[in-house]
Chain A
């Protein structure tokens, strides 16, 4: 019964407990109401409490059983690059327009691959951007400006 072995369950339990607490505490500030007229806080408060209980139960059973394997490696570089790529797209697409934003986003995403260098990543990005414009703007007629106001589009 080593702490190390139960790490997966302890972590999972902590995540659920954390979310449960956050939802329960926030919903306590809304009108709870009565069962007859459930206020906006009623449903999330009950569920938040339930999630806290489940989270603790997962952590405790994991600790008692002591089973579970190591979660394994986390691809940190890929993780950071992918999240940054998504955030970049969301933040800049309106101002820069579809084409430049997509080029940057896909290049960043491409670099998340193992041992992918900059030049191949850019080649991939250019091709995928072209393909996306063909599919979404030309074929499917989505109204997304190719260049945004920052670039005079």
Chain B
């Protein structure tokens, strides 16, 4: 099937009324949680997983994916208007975006962010459409040894590209891998770490882990301090960009799109890195670097395009190899499993409607987001006035119902409490939660591939080093680990991430 035919199929799938509706619901919800502090896209998507049971697979994915990139838009809105980046990738937008808002140019900043994001999203979606099939062909050549090596590379690379302590991130991955082994062993049927409780034979519920780690832990963090915010936002006016503005943002948007598309494929915080790098590139290549930090429109255009392009291309590893590159993709992987679809290189071949429908929905969703965000900006700002004492009990209620509804298993609800406490303690002690979730999702896959690779090689562990692809992946993983602990790189990385916290 040619790309044009495939895209036609995608349009036919994505343009059904149901899919359009759920795409709209997804991006609207995403914008909402991007704007609201205290709940992010990961927890929201996890909470909504159970209700997508009854949906068509493509509808479920369209909605969940919409939440993710919708949250990128919402996060930049609050970054610009009240200097409160709802998403870590929007942190850099706040620098110049908020300065513009203080000068009464909030409308221009918002328009720049929305249009830059839309352009970047459109281009990056084309990238995904063009690259996914060839990459999936490569993935088809992969045997169990290569997949095991690729998972190891992905896990380690996700640390290299994140902020914070490397040792702690490694420990979080290993803890995640271990928690993933709870339940019946696939190969032998032996129940592991279940304490004899039948309810745990199926393993720890992925939704409980995600909701506890990203939802409950975040609520506890917020309840540490006083959450009474007084939000004063001036009326947003002047959403039109002048000819001069367009001239100034043209190159930053193009460069940001390119950077973001490339970095988004990387595991871990690729989109955060992309927006930070884009900012420093723009500052360095600008003729007026002194304006940066004081409301330079380029400082909004570049990073916003970069993070939205990256949000789109970060789907590539999931859609081609069936491996998630970050916690949001891990949730989408869970959604695929729930729908009975085995993620991997065959998805494009076997489920062309799902794949191309999803790709086209990205573009539609981005269009919705421009329409939702520019004319309706006042609505989103109003959402900020919802008091937190209303918000977090609602999150708890939805967490309970959503998780319990999966299999009517009380242990899944207990697990939320357990992971909430564990997540809160670990985050407070300086450990990022994302690597744990990635480890948890990839653990069973890694064990399975290791087992199969060793069975095929008849117990010869050198199989990972004698097969060229597997060897090069492992060498890359070793390099990534060295880079992560190297002091000079660490310092540079901290500079890149200094604004993020």
Contact = CB atoms under 8 A, between A and B. Distances in A.
Interface of A: 8-9, 11-12, 15-16, 19-20, 23, 26-27, 30-31, 34-41, 43-44, 47-48, 50-51, 54-55, 57-58, 61, 68, 71-75, 78-79, 82-83, 85-87, 89-91, 93-94, 98, 102, 105-106, 109-110, 112-114, 116, 120-121, 124-125, 128-129, 131-132, 136, 140-142, 144
Given A90-B411, A90-B413, A132 B398 contact: yes
A109 B392 contact: yes
Contacts of A124: 389-390, 393
Contacts of B411: 90
Contacts of A121: 393
Nearest to B388: A113
B178 A19 contact: yes
Nearest to B52: A140
Given A34-B459, A90-B410, A124-B390, A106 B429 contact: no
A44 to B, nearest CB: 5
A31 B190 contact: yes
B395 to A, nearest CB: 9
Contacts of A86: 216, 396, 399-400, 413-414, 416-417, 420
Contacts of A110: 389, 393
Given A47-B174, A51-B171, A40 B413 contact: no
Contacts, number: 196
B102 interface: no
B397 A144 contact: no
Q: Interface range on chain B: under 10, 10 to 19, 20 to 34, or 35 or more? A: 35 or more
Contact of A43 (B399, B416, B447): B447
B195 to A, nearest CB: 9
Contacts of B431: 12
A144 B393 contact: no
Contacts of A106: 393-394, 396-397
Contacts of A47: 174, 177-178, 181
Contact of B175 (A16, A27, A38, A98): A16
